[in-house]
Every structure is written in structure tokens, then in C-alpha cells.
A and B are shown apart, each in its own frame.
Chain A
Amino acid sequence: MQQLRHKQPTATRREFLAGAAIFALATGLPVPAMAAAPSPRIALLLKTVAQIVIPRSDTPGAGDVGVGAFLSLAFAHGMEGAQGYDLWLDQELNRRAGRDFLALPPAQRVKILGQLDAEAFPAGPPPAVPSPWVAIKALILTGYYTSEAGASKELQYNLIPGRWDADIPLKPGARAYSSDWTAVEFG
């Protein structure tokens, strides 16, 4: 089973903040999880970004339902290979903003995140090395559509359908089932 063993190089928190996470992204080396709770700044950033991706409508947005906290958990545990991506996101958004992303007016934040998203999903075949944003976005969607509001208010959740109707009309505006496990798995 040696093929699946992952090396766990060590890094100090200072190195981390100096950009070890970005270096690790570039080299493909995994980095250790930061077990500590995110700083208030990072927590606010994650909640803000999640809410921009899935805003409030007639149902809550992603930031409203705790996706920020879910992202912190996901980054700490390396879900979607996204270990340490919160630090990358902070630096990348600040770089694009030319200053503190969170200090920008809301419309500016949406614009910058929209550009980041568009560059990560160009037309044509997906880039060989995906932007870290691809994993972050996947985690935002996972956090939202597996939350109670996302799964059962924005979409429909039915654990025990009780029957199989193979072929019925799709009514306009019908909401998908978050409990259609095969559909969720295969995208």
C-alpha cells in the first residue's frame, strides 16, 4: 500500500504565512493541516466569499448557513486536496484588490471574485493545473448544498422516496433533489 502513503513534511507557522502553502501548491507537496481555528479575518473572508458565490435569494446564502466554518474545517482536513487554501485565497484576493479585499465595496469584491472564477474556468478544455479556486468553489457548493437550507429549501431532500417513477414530466421551475445521490456524485 506504499502507493498511497503521503509524505507529511513539516513547516512552521511562520513559513506557512511566508508562503509555504503557495510553494506547496506549486510543487504538489501536501502541507500539514493547521489545526488552530482560523483567525477572525480569515473566518470573515471565507464567509464573505461563500456568500458572493451563493448569495441570499428566497433562500439563505452560503455565508448565512455556515459555509465559512465548513470551509475552515475542509481546509484543515484537506478535503478536495485544499489543505491551506484559505491562506492562498486571502493573498490572491488581496493581490488582485491591490489592498485588503475585505475593505473593498461589495460590488468590487464581486467583480474581483468573478474574474478569478472566470480565469479558473476558461472556455475549452480545463487547464492541466487547476487554479486552487476550483477546489475552493467545489467546497463552497458542497458546504451549501449539503446544509439543511441548501439541501432541503433551495433544493428538495427526500430520504425515503418510497417509489420509482421512471419517466414523468419535468415541471418548469422544479427544484432538483439533493438526495439524488447518483446525480450528485456524477455531477
Chain B
Amino acid sequence: MMEYEFDAIVVGSGITGGWAAKELTEAGLKVLMIERGREIVHGDYPREMKAPWELPFRGRGDTQRYKRDHAVQMLNRHFTEWTEDHFVNDRENPYELGADSAFTWFRSYQLGGKSLTWGRQCYRWSDYDFGANARDGMGTDWPIRYADIAPWYDKVERFIGVSGAAEGLAALPDGQFQPPFALNAVEKSVREKVSAQWPDRRLTIGRTANLTQAKEEEGRAPCQSRDICNRGCSFGAYFSTQSSTLPAATKTGRLTVITDAQVEKVDYDPATRRVTGVRWVNTKTRERKSATARIVFLNAGAFNSVHLMINSANEAMPGGLANSSGVLGTHIMDHANTLSAVALMPGFEGRTSFGNRPTGVVIPRFRNLDKADGDGFTRGYSFQGGALQSGWGRGKKQAGIGADFKRDLRGPGAWRMVLVAFAESLPRASNRLTLSKQVDPLGVPQLEIHFAHGAGELAALADAKREAGAMLTAAGGQVLFGMDRPGPGGTAIHEMGGARMGHDPKTSVLNKWSQAHDVANLFVTDGAQMASSACQNPSLTYMALTARAVDHAVGLIKAGAI
């Protein structure tokens, strides 16, 4: 029997890596967590409290440098002079695009990964979602249903802290919520008017991993209503690896963390048909090292976990690690995302709000639930957005100079309501990840992304534009504009798939426990495992599947099976 240095290795420290480390260490395992980016210590967020006038480019950043070093990341609206250190340098982390492909790959390589920069929206999937592939025949059936994951949603929501309002909707199951943030005057009115005209449509507050009540036992304060989360929050008020899972894992005394370590390969022993550990390169010193473990969890982020599996091809598995099916890298997805409507909302001129709410609103999916009512599409979409009073930025778009202009911009502007659609992305074999002939600065073959939205997604967004306009008009708004064309792939920052879960080892990479069909001690529990995309923000589901997979893996270890 081999002597292992660790019981488990977790590759990646983001939303799912942190959860894997927490659950594995709390189960008594000795864990090595490997992160390719730099260390960020909780509370060490140097620009968190900076005023715009304390930054050289007033929060907008150096366009010239951004074009050179962050040509993709700068397209993300969360990428600013305050947050630029929380996103990758594109020049140092290149990727390639396939022919006719568009994909803006937004990445955060650092301890905590994208948990520091995520949008924090937490939505459960329902059986409409887990049953979607079986229903219309696109993709392969999920081997799990809502009942399999519901207790794990409970566990995750309680620990990370999710504020939200219970609504009793079949398409968006309620969770273990902290008290919700309140709707503002316009949103309350829109909720009432939309429900009156469309009883199956419900505007509700966004369910967000921002605390409305302290979690004192974990040292986390309630949200201060700043809405500057992705600078890093020293209050620990939103869920991140740093604020939540890392302290829990560290407390066990069984966690080792290595940063600046890019994993190049997962080692595989064909004799035992098990992975035996990983090898990595120190990105600063270029020193190469390795470690062994009884089990390996891949949590590098959907595309990077797939990338690592492809790069881990070996003599026994020439097409990539755990890829006897040949589907590794295929069926990647990202929600088709666009601004469906912006409307002026007259009648609320005497009302305002105080503070910056860290979430918007959501109108959950209403299409293709119990009846097929999508015009040219079989899945669903949902809206996120909210009502806001415009600020001084409105002056950029209007005529005027001088004293009157200045006076006009002094108060809050007109109320507007914005609805942004997220349409379900269908799993297609042609949307896939391959290895490029180009290599990155460390000599590792780059990832090549092949991606295009399909006709179903476009039809869904056309419907979303019509319906968003209709709802805001019915609510008394004057629609200013709306769009029905999605941004390039990656716009939603919900990239997923590539190592999908399924019943059949011939057509899927992972089984219902996020465990490789081909390799019993290999688990992939980030977005790579997704067999469909639903239209909800996916992180909560990744976390629940991670906790569930750890529970299963620990059971197998205890039983001596792996």
C-alpha cells in the first residue's frame, strides 16, 4: 500500500475549492489545497476603503495599461481601479479562440479565486432544471434530481448566509434564508403590477450571499450596504473563501495551503487505475514539485479543471484523464446574457433610498414550465435588475454647461428600472475546449475555446426583450431601449460544463457523486461537472454538489473502497 503525503489534494481555492477543503478537513482528512495565484489574507484589501480621489485614475483605471495587460478583463464591469488586482493579467494568462468563436473569459487567479469577485446571487435549481435534458433531449440526463441536492442546499445556505424572501415558487425553490433586503418604492410597485397582470410572474428580491444578520461564531459582520463587495470585504459580510470556508478549514489544523502553484498534471497509476497526486510549478521560481494523496478534488474553475484533465493525458488515457467517453471538454455553456429593457419609471419623484443594497431583484423563469410556451426555445430565462435613481453620470449624455447644469446634477435623477436576461445555454458538442498549439509563459499548452450561442438562446432573448418591455410598460414605465442579442460567450461569467455528470460512462465524465467514472478517487466539483446550465446563477449548486461529493468520498474512504 502506498504511503500518501495527504489524504486529499484540492486543486483551487475558490468557491468550490474552499468548500471541498472545509468539508474534507472537518471530516478528519489531512488536506493540501493548491492555488495558482497569490495569497490574499482576509482583511488585506488595500483599496477597499479608498475614495475615488485617492486613486490616480479616480477608480476608472489606466485605460492604456488595461488595454495592454487586461484586454479581456477590462470588459467586465466589475473590473475597476479598485478591483483590478482581483483579476488576471491577460497578457500573462493567454487563451485562444476557435474559428467563429467569441468568448470573454473573466478570471481571478488568487487565493479565494472568484469567491472574492462573484455576484453572490444564490438560487436553487428545481426539477424543471435537473429534468430539462431528459425532457427535450438536448444533452444527457442529469443523474440527480432536486431531492438529491436539497439537503445540501440547506447546509450550504446556512453556513454561507443567504438573505432572501421565501416565495413558494416551483421554479425557484425557497431556501434557508436570512431576512431579505427590502424592495424600493419602484420595485414594490412593479412587483404588484406584474403579479396582477401575470399571476405566474413574481418579482422578488435577489437572494444574495450578503449577511443581513451577523454570524458571530464565524466572526462575520452584517452587510454595511456599501455594495463594493469585489474590492474585498473586511467585514466578512459576503461569502468568500477568505471570510467563510478557509477559516473553518484552517481551524481543524488539518489544512495545508500552497499558493503561486500552477498544477500541471494529475498523476495516474494505470496499475491501480487511481490518481496518486499532482505536480505543479511555482509560478515565481519556476521550481517544480509534487505531492501524493489518496483522493484528488479538482476545483480549479470549470475550464481550468477541464484543461488540467486534458493536460493530464497519459499512456493509458491518451485522450485526457478520465476521458474514456471522449466527451471531456465538450458541451461547455454560459448563459446568454443581455440588457432586455431599461425604462423610465415616473411617479416616484418624491421617494428615494439610503445606502447601497448589495443585490438587485429577480423575476424567476416563467417560460416552458408546465406548458411549452417558448417561441422557438425549449428552456427558460430569468431577469435580474432593479430600480435606481440615476447619478451624476446622466450628465454625460445630456446637453448643458454652466451653473444650471451643475445645479441640475446635484440631486438624484429620474427613477429607472433595468431588466437583464439570463437565458439557459444549451449543451452542444460543438461548444468545446481543446488544446491550442500555443503555449503559455510556463510552456503549458493553452486552452482554445470554441463557443457560439445557438438559435434557442437567441429566441429566448428575443422573447425576453418583448416580455421585459411589456412588464415595465404595464407597470407604468416608458421603455427607453432594450436588446435581444447576447454579449459574447463568457459575458454572464457562468462558464460551465466540459466534464459533465451523467448516468452512462460512455457519454459522461462524472457519475452522480461528481466522481470520475474512470477513476474512483478523482472528483470534479466545480462548474465543469454541469450537464445543463438552467438559467439561475450556478455557484450555490456547485457548492451543494461539492459538499455532497465530499460526504460520498469520505464514506468511500471509511469503507475502504478508495
Contacts and interface: CB of A to CB of B under 8 A. Distances in A.
B57 A79 contact: yes
A183 B53 contact: no
A110 B356 contact: no
Interface string A1-20: 11111100000000000000
Contacts of A1: 71-72, 90, 94-97
Interface string B35-63: 00000000000000101110011111011
Interface residues of B, number: 71
Interface in B166-183: 181-183
Nearest to A143: B58
Contacts of B60: 79, 142
- Most chain A CB within 10 A, of B49, B90, B352, is at B352
Interface in B157-213: 181-185, 188
A111 B184 CA distance: 42
Interface stretch (A36-44, A91-99, A144-152): A144-152
A164 B97 contact: no
Contacts of B75: 4
Nearest to B488: A3
Interface stretch (B220-228, B453-461, B545-553): B220-228
A121 B398 contact: yes
Contact of A170 (B350, B357, B401): B350
A173 B407 CA distance: 10
B52 A165 contact: no
Interface in A159-187: 159-170, 173-187
A134 B396 contact: yes
Interface residues of A, number: 69
Interface in B217-250: 224-228
A64 interface: no
Contacts of A118: 399
Given A1-B90, A180-B356, A181-B228, A187 B350 contact: no
Interface stretch (B125-133, B294-302, B363-371, B408-416): B408-416
A89 interface: no
A57 interface: yes
Given A117-B399, A141-B395, A166-B182, A183 B412 contact: yes
Contacts of A176: 389, 391-392, 409-413
- Most chain A CB within 10 A, of B77, B102, B399, is at B399
Nearest to A30: B67
B401 A163 contact: no
B90 A121 contact: no
B349 A187 contact: no
Contact of B396 (A77, A137, A147): A137
Interface string B389-428: 1111111111111110111011111001010000000000
B472 to A, nearest CB: 15
Interface string A99-129: 0000000000010011001101100001000
Given A165-B355, A167-B182, A170-B349, A53 B77 contact: no
Nearest to A148: B53
Contact of B397 (A3, A6, A79, A187): A187
B354 A70 contact: no
A55 B401 CA distance: 9
A162 B224 contact: yes
Contacts of B401: 52-53, 110, 113-114, 117
Interface of B: 49, 51-53, 56-60, 62-65, 67, 71-72, 75, 77, 90, 94-97, 102, 181-185, 188, 224-228, 349-357, 386, 388-403, 405-407, 409-413, 416, 418
Interface of A: 1-6, 33, 52-55, 57, 70, 73-74, 76-79, 110, 113-114, 117-118, 120-121, 126, 134, 137-138, 141-143, 145-148, 151-152, 154-155, 157, 159-170, 173-187
Given A1-B96, A160-B224, 18 more contacts: A4-B67, A4-B71, A4-B72, A73-B56, A114-B402, A121-B398, A134-B396, A147-B58, A151-B52, A159-B49, A159-B51, A160-B226, A162-B225, A162-B355, A177-B391, A180-B356, A180-B412, A182-B386
